[in-house]
Amino acid sequence: MMERAIWSEAQEIAVYRPGQKVEVKSRSGIVDTVIAYDPDMVPPIVLANDPQPRYPEELTLISQPGTSFNWFLPWSKSHKVTVSTQKVTSHH
């Protein structure tokens, strides 16, 4: 059960990252921005325009266009990687 709690917290930290747009379910139509996720705080999510920290179940995520990483491409094809090829000689 402890593993599940740790995994859930790790997922929440990744999802409720600073800059993520959310809607507080009790204030329909009002979009706010996550400024922090503090796992030591209960509730853990701090919003820019709401003095009350929130739990994930109180929020609706607003999808945002952003940079995405194509996990199906090898790293070398999605990012330029420079590799130096120099012959190394050893003197015995």
Domain boundaries, the chain: 16-64
Concatenate the DSSP letters of all residues of 7-72 into one string. HHHHHHHHHS-TT-EEEEGGGTT-EEEEEEE-TTSSS-EEETTEEEEE-GGGEEEPP-------TT
Model-level pTM greater than 0.75?
no
Q: What is the pLDDT of residues 32-89, one digit of tens each?
A: 999 999 999 999 999 999 999 999 999 999 986 654 545 455 544 444 444 444 455 5
Whether omega for the bond prior to residue 43 falls within 30 degrees of 0, making it cis, is: yes
Query: Lowest mean pLDDT: which of 26-30, 52-56, 88-92?
Result: 88-92
